[in-house]
Amino acid sequence: MLAADGRVRESWSVDDPDRAGLAAAALALRAHLAAHPGRLGVCADEKCADVYADASPAGHRRFCSLTCQNRTRTAAFRRRRARSG
Ligand SMILES: [Zn+2]
């Protein structure tokens, strides 16, 4: 949308009011990614393909959730334990 000051502004509308939450979430994600480029990633868990937006201060996120992080750590622990004995 072109605003009165001549700058392009984001705008959105939905035909179904039940979809307003989804549209707002998509717009918030777009704004976050525009403000933090390179903060979108794919989960590092071998059994997951989810995508995440990294909002951590350091920007070193690797997993979509703690569940995936814990599953990967548990699998690595079991592999080390199996190799050692
Ligand atoms: Zn995951």
Per-residue pLDDT, 74:
97
The CA distance from 62 to 69, in Å, is 8
Distance 7 CA to ligand 1 centre (A): 39
pLDDT tens for 39-55 read 889 999 999 999 998 98
Q: Which residues of the chain have pLDDT under 70?
A: 1-2
Per-residue pLDDT, 33:
79
- H/E stretch holding 73 reads helix 66-84
Per-residue pLDDT, 38:
85
Distance 19 CA to ligand 1 centre (A): 26
